[in-house]
Amino acid sequence: MRFKVLLVFLLFCLTIQAQIFPGNPKRVLFIGNSITYAGRYVQIIEAYQRAKFPSQEIDIYNVGLPSETVSGLSEDGHAGGRFPRPDLHERLARVLEQIKPDLVFATYGMNDGIYLPLDEVRFQKFKDGIIWMHEQVEFSGAKIIHITPSLYEEKTNENSGYGKVLDEYSHWLTEQKNWHVIDTHRALQKYLNTELKKDANFRISKDGVHPGDEGHWIMAKEILKYLGAKKIGRMNSIEELLEPVKDPKAFFDIVVERHNILKDSWLTQTGHKRPEMKKGLSLTEANVKAADLMKKIKELTP
């Protein structure tokens, strides 16, 4: 009888998820381009982690850099000729050395084809860059989860075919054996197709590149679903996602504020070659503010 009770108890314990991230990491890093820097999908994931697993001590870093590629390519006259696209090759070693992540989420592709039709040379540059990044992260001792690029939505009277470029880049990523890949590209396309049936003018991104809040919500849900979040598919709002937090809106706003302070601080600390970026606080100042905001976060957690 005691054996049966013990067995039931052990099975019950195994069904309880200790945290959302696999491998019990202490430091989780998100890298990518402007979509990651905007950060809403990362902030939603962080808010879920802190709401559902408040006892789990974990640091989440976002060092997404606008305009960046992993292919090393840049179109002529990028940013009106003010600067070429930054290249992840220039800064990844510093990021990994200074942050020392246990788990890395990486999403590139949107900028890597430099908004031109599919071309085997550019495609190979993307593949080479992704493989290099994968190997560098693993060599550092961290695990890596790839996220496919989001959608490119053609502008009125445009026929660039760039959407198909990202289709190919995403498909290639999902075909890599023994890699962990989350297909947000497919999830966004499915959502877009559904909404277009209701409204032929619907768009996920106003400029065709940067998803709005709905797009980030779809991305966050797909990532959380991959990570094992229960009932995520039925949820329709951040407030619903964060139940039973006392005040979900206030909770999320504090998570966002803290996230943004640390994001700019770490991006400045680790360094990059992209001009026209906000200078973050020193890490000392940022950490003091982050600690105060974490106290407020914990006051709102059940």
Residue 155 lies in a domain: yes
Q: How many residues does the chain have?
A: 302
pLDDT at residue number 246: 86
Which residue segment(s) compose the domain that 200 sits in? Answer: 25-238
pLDDT at residue number 156: 78
pLDDT at residue number 85: 98
The residue-averaged pLDDT of 251-276 equals 98
Residue 277 lies in a domain: no
Residue 193 lies in a domain: yes
Output the domain CATH number for residue 143: 3.40.50.1110
The residue-averaged pLDDT of 27-34 equals 98
The number of distinct structural domains making up the chain is 1
Residue 264 lies in a domain: no
pLDDT at residue number 135: 98
Q: Taking 70 as the threshold, does the pLDDT of residue 8 lie above it?
A: no
Residue 257 lies in a domain: no
Which ranges of the chain does DSSP label H, i.e. alpha helix? 2-14, 34-38, 40-52, 92-99, 120-139, 162-174, 184-198, 213-226, 238-241, 248-270, 283-300
Q: Taking 80 as the threshold, does the pLDDT of residue 269 lie above it?
A: yes
Residue linked to tokens 């809040």: 213
Q: Taking 50 as the threshold, does the pLDDT of residue 142 lie above it?
A: yes
Residue 81 lies in a domain: yes
The residue-averaged pLDDT of 183-194 equals 98
18 band by pLDDT with thresholds 50, 70 and 90? low
Each residue's pLDDT tens digit, 189-234: 999 999 999 999 999 999 999 999 999 999 999 999 999 998 898 9
Residue 117 lies in a domain: yes
CA 125 – CA 12 distance, rounded (Å) = 48
Three-class SS of residue 183?
A: coil
Q: Taking 60 as the threshold, does the pLDDT of residue 14 lie above it?
A: no
User: Rounded mean pLDDT of the chain?
Assistant: 93
pLDDT at residue number 52: 94
Residue 268 lies in a domain: no
pLDDT at residue number 61: 98
pTM higher than the cut 0.85: yes
For a pLDDT cut of 70, what percent of the chain falls above it? 94
Q: Which of 5-14, 17-26, 160-169 has the lowest mean pLDDT?
A: 5-14
**Contact at 8 Å (CB) between 297 and 251?**
yes
Q: Taking 70 as the threshold, does the pLDDT of residue 111 lie above it?
A: yes
The residue-averaged pLDDT of 150-163 equals 90
